[in-house]
Amino acid sequence: MAEEVIRLTLSQRQDYQFDTRFDDGLSLLADEPPPLGAGSGPSPTQLLLASVANCLTASLLFALCKHHEPEAPLLAEAECEVDRNERGRLRVTGIAVTLRLGLPAADYGKLERILASFEDFCTVSQSVAVGIPMRTTVIDALGAVLKTADES
């Protein structure tokens, strides 16, 4: 039996616009970009990318808080590559997420331990990485690259 079941209802508003209502009462409008849709909301591909980046950032934040590291805003930048497969169908072929710490690495006491494990706790990225190659990079506030990890 599943530990958690998450539900949503997707209803077509018009054309390629869909209202997405989550079981906790939250909602958002999703839409395909032109020429299919009007681009009036994030596309499914954008939502996938946002989910991966958000989950990784939240996992890093959780690990920093758990180890009582100093608080400083985190920043994530993410991109995904979309290309055609052997049958000519568009697919997400790679995801890259760069996480920027809010402080220089020297300001954190347990950073090595945190960087070694935080990705394992990211439900979304670990699930997506089973089918889509992913790269996660962590840099500090000074731009020093602290970790780069490829998963697929």
User: How confident is the model over 68-101, as pLDDT tens digits?
Assistant: 999 999 999 999 999 999 999 999 999 999 999 9
- pLDDT tens digits, 108-134: 999 999 999 999 999 999 999 999 999
Confidence band for 2, pLDDT divided at 50, 70 and 90: confident
Nearest to 80 by CA among 95, 101, 99: 95
* φ and ψ of 23, to 5 deg: -65, -15
User: How far apart, in whole angstroms, are the C-alpha atoms of residue 78 and residue 97?
Assistant: 4
- pLDDT tens digits, 8-65: 999 999 999 999 999 999 999 999 999 999 999 999 999 999 999 999 999 999 999 9
* 44-151 homologous superfamily: K homology (KH) domain (3.30.300.20)
What pLDDT, on the 0 to 100 scale, is given for residue 1?
80
Quick check: 112 and 95 in contact, CB under 8 A? no
Radius of gyration of the chain (CA): 18
Q: Does 152 score more than 90 pLDDT?
A: no
